[in-house]
């Protein structure tokens, strides 16, 4: 074993640097050089013994032994240049020259050496090159034809009959050719074993990589069917990889994402690298049939760029966390935009709601202060005082709305539940706004049964809910319209419904209704007074009572606002900030600061 290792190390030292980094190339170079070096050295070492037994050699014998130097030169050529195919071509030429020289002096095509022409293409087969094999075959055929032609026309030198009919020489030629061919066969078998072993090593390396990497490797046909999928799919999707073969993976792709999935595979099969993100169902730990959907990214490309219907290899990885982060960033961006829009709406609304009554208060108070100069009578002073009072009441209602929203947003709005009768409270609120309804030409209808049960809740908050809803309905109902207020019991909840035949609300505005300072329609082209806090306060108060509010509306047909409150409300130990006003705080603070500065300048 140590002798073979020593020989292997010596051969490896002679190899060209280009063959040092590939095991198969190294084995081929070694298989080319080893028999030629050993054979030539053995033949040259036996030359003295041949002389002792034979005596003085003939010229042809000296030339034959001298020709054995050629394999050594070929090995040197391969060692220095690394040109494996070129070395095989030169080897075929050298072997053909040796056979032609011996055959020409020993009978031509009938010579014992002619059988060696068969060995030339066999030796070239070790090159693993069709061009070299074709060249060797053509060379052997040319040599055989040339020997036949020369023998037919008696061009070759005369041969001793004893030599021509010597069976020993013929047997030597055949046996030596067989031994050499056997050596070539063993060399070919050794190279084949090396190739298979290297192939197994590479397959095992890729198999180990596919089985241990976190990304999922898969092979697909053009229609999406899975031919192979790595075991990492079991970790990703919670099912054995065998259940994903065929159309098993496709069946788990979200229905909305299947067109993108199949399109990416089809494009990749045509030679275009594709990347696609889609949702796929992942089973739970116990392998339930249904589970959650996760986001995966799949990058795919064709295995064979030449084929028009090539298979596709794909790499998939879980990108759910990235998608969640993207969605969180998108939500944060939307929240920031909404907060900025809330500030804009606040400033636009408050500029009108605060400046108008303040201007009235300041203007009319200045006129009263100068009554002597203006000559105001008692009736005119009373009228101005009433206008100042109305403006002050309007300012007070605006400030109270802002303060209530601020308290609810910070979680400091106190709910004081107590048993109360909802019917008298509701009728009282309708009576308070009845005058406003008559002045607006709106018919106010109240449908409240006498059998309404006692409700446990905050009566002050309940009245504020009713007043805001009914006032809003009257305000947005044109003259000649109708507002209907009804109340009843559904299960364990009190259902309050306020409907009107007013202008209605557009679908785009309906989903934003209840946001602080939001009014349907364009903020700067408002037809009705108000801060946009009415429904926001109602929504907050309903939420604090663990109730529900629903708004249904169509433009030009009217609006229905339904409020459901529990009959037996129990307040929580700690009141959390109302979710519907969670975006108010930044806009409220910045808006109040800017509006306060504007009010001071106006004053």
Q: How far apart are CA 414 and CA 406, in angstroms?
A: 12
Strand partners, 299: 275, 315
Are 466 and 425 in contact by the 8 Å Cβ rule? The answer is yes
Give the range with max mean pLDDT: 62-71, 146-155, 204-213: 146-155
- Across 62-76, 139-153, 346-360, least confident range: 346-360
Average pLDDT over residues 451-473: 84
Are 322-413+582-603 and 414-574 the same fold in CATH?
no
Give the rounded distance of the alpha carbon of 304 from its chain centre: 24
Fold of 414-574: Heat Shock Protein 90 (3.30.565)
Supply φ then ψ for residue 288, to 5 degrees: -65, 160
pLDDT tens for 280-303 read 998 875 444 457 899 999 999 887
Note the pLDDT of residue 581: 41
Residue 372's pLDDT band, with cuts at 50, 70 and 90, is low
Residue 352's pLDDT band, with cuts at 50, 70 and 90, is low
Note the pLDDT of residue 351: 64
User: Angle 533-538-541 (CA atoms, 0-180°, nearest 5)?
Assistant: 120
Give the range with max mean pLDDT: 3-7, 311-315, 554-558: 311-315
Note the pLDDT of residue 141: 92
Q: How far apart are CA 300 and CA 309, in angstroms?
A: 14
Domain ranges of the chain: 2-206, 213-318, 322-413+582-603, 414-574
- Across 318-322, 479-483, 544-548, least confident range: 544-548
Residue 278's pLDDT band, with cuts at 50, 70 and 90, is very high
> What DSSP character marks residue 354?
H
pLDDT tens for 111-168 read 878 888 888 888 888 888 889 989 999 999 999 899 888 877 777 776 656 555 555 6
Residue 1's pLDDT band, with cuts at 50, 70 and 90, is very low
Choice between 375 and 23, residue whose per-residue pLDDT is larger: 23
pLDDT tens for 74-115 read 888 888 888 988 988 998 898 888 888 888 877 788 787 888
Strands 226-229 and 274-282: unpaired
**Where is 448: in which H helix or E strand?**
strand 443-448
SS3 422: helix
> What DSSP character marks residue 165?
T
**Where is 60: in which H helix or E strand?**
helix 59-67
**Can you count the helices (H) and strands (E) in the chain?**
20, 12
Mean pLDDT score of the chain: 76
Q: How far apart are CA 426 and CA 465, in angstroms?
A: 10
- The CATH architecture one would assign to domain 322-413+582-603 is Orthogonal Bundle (1.10)
- Across 118-122, 345-349, 597-601, least confident range: 597-601
Note the pLDDT of residue 601: 42
With a cut of 70, say whether residue 603 has pLDDT above it. Answer: no
- Token readout for 60 is 């042809």
Q: How far apart are CA 95 and CA 93, in angstroms?
A: 6
Are 572 and 556 in contact by the 8 Å Cβ rule? The answer is no
Q: Cβ of 293: how many Cβ atoms within 10 Å?
A: 15
Q: How far apart are CA 278 and CA 261, in angstroms?
A: 7
Are 316 and 264 in contact by the 8 Å Cβ rule? The answer is no
> CA dist 6 to 39, 277, 362, 543, Å?
18, 57, 113, 90
User: Angle 168-169-174 (CA atoms, 0-180°, nearest 5)?
Assistant: 100
Note the pLDDT of residue 524: 34
Choice between 571 and 220, residue whose per-residue pLDDT is larger: 220
With a cut of 50, say whether residue 531 has pLDDT above it. Answer: no
User: Angle 229-235-236 (CA atoms, 0-180°, nearest 5)?
Assistant: 75
User: Angle 313-317-323 (CA atoms, 0-180°, nearest 5)?
Assistant: 135
With a cut of 70, say whether residue 341 has pLDDT above it. Answer: yes
Q: How far apart are CA 599 and CA 98, in angstroms?
A: 115
Q: Homologous superfamily of 213-318 in CATH?
A: PAS domain (3.30.450.20)
């Amino acid at each position: 074993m140590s002798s073979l290792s020593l020989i292997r190390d010596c051969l490896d030292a002679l190899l060209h640097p280009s063959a040092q980094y590939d095991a198969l190339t190294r084995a081929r170079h070694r298989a080319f050089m080893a028999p030629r070096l050993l054979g030539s050295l053995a033949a040259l070492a036996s030359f003295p013994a041949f002389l002792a037994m034979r005596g003085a050699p003939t010229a042809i014998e000296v030339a034959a032994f001298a020709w054995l130097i050629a394999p050594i030169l070929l090995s040197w050529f391969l060692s220095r240049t690394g040109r494996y195919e070129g070395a095989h071509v030169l080897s075929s030429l050298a072997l053909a020259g040796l056979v032609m020289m011996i055959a020409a002096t020993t009978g031509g095509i009938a010579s014992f050496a002619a059988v060696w022409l068969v060995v030339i293409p066999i030796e070239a087969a070790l090159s693993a090159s069709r061009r070299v094999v074709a060249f060797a075959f053509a060379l052997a055929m040319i040599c055989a034809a040339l020997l036949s032609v020369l023998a037919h026309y008696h061009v070759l030198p005369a041969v001793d009959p004893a030599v021509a009919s010597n069976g020993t020489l013929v047997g030597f030629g055949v046996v030596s050719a067989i031994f050499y061919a056997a050596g070539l066969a063993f060399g070919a078998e050794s190279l084949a074993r090396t190739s298979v072993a290297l192939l197994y090593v590479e397959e095992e390396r890729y198999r180990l990589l596919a089985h241990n990497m976190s990304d999922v490797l898969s092979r697909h046909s053009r229609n999406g069917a899975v031919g192979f999928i790595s075991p990492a799919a079991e970790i990703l999707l919670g099912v054995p990889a065998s259940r994903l073969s065929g159309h098993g993976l496709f069946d788990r792709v979200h229905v909305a994402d299947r067109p993108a999935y199949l399109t990416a595979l089809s494009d990749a099969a045509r030679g275009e690298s594709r990347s696609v993100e889609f949702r796929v169902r992942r089973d739970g730990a116990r392998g339930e049939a249904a589970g959650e959907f996760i986001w995966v990214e799949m990058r795919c490309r064709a295995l064979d760029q030449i084929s028009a219907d090539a298979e596709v290899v794909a790499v998939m990885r879980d990108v759910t966390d990235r998608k969640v982060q993207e969605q969180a960033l998108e939500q944060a961006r939307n929240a920031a935009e909404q907060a900025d829009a809330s500030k804009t709406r606040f400033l636009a609304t408050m500029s009108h709601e605060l400046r108008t009554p303040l201007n009235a208060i300041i203007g009319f108070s200045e006129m009263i202060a100068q009554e002597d100069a203006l000559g105001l009578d008692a009736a005119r002073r009373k009228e101005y005082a009433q206008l100042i009072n109305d403006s002050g009441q309007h300012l007070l209602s605006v400030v109270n709305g802002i303060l209530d929203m601020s308290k609810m947003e910070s979680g400091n709005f106190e709910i004081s539940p107590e048993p109360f009768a909802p019917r008298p409270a509701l009728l009282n609120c309708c009576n308070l706004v009845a005058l406003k309804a008559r002045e607006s030409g709106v018919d106010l209808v109240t449908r409240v049964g006498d059998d309404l049960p006692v409700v446990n809740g905050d009566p002050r908050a309940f009245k504020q809910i009713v007043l805001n809803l009914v006032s809003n309905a009257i305000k947005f109902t044109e003259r000649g319209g109708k507002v209907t207020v009804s109340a009843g019991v559904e299960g364990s909840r009190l259902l309050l419904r306020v409907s009107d035949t007013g202008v209605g609300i557009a679908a785009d505005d309906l989903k934003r209704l209840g946001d602080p300072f939001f009014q349907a329609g364009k903020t700067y082209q408002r037809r009705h007074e108000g801060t946009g806090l009415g429904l926001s306060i109602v929504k907050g108060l309903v939420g604090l009572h663990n109730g529900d509010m629903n708004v249904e509306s169509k433009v030009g047909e009217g609006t229905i606002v339904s409020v459901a409150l529990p009959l037996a409300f129990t307040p929580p130990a700690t009141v959390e900030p109302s979710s519907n006003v969670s975006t108010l705080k930044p806009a409220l603070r910045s808006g109040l600061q800017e509006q306060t500065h504007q009010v001071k300048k106006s004053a």
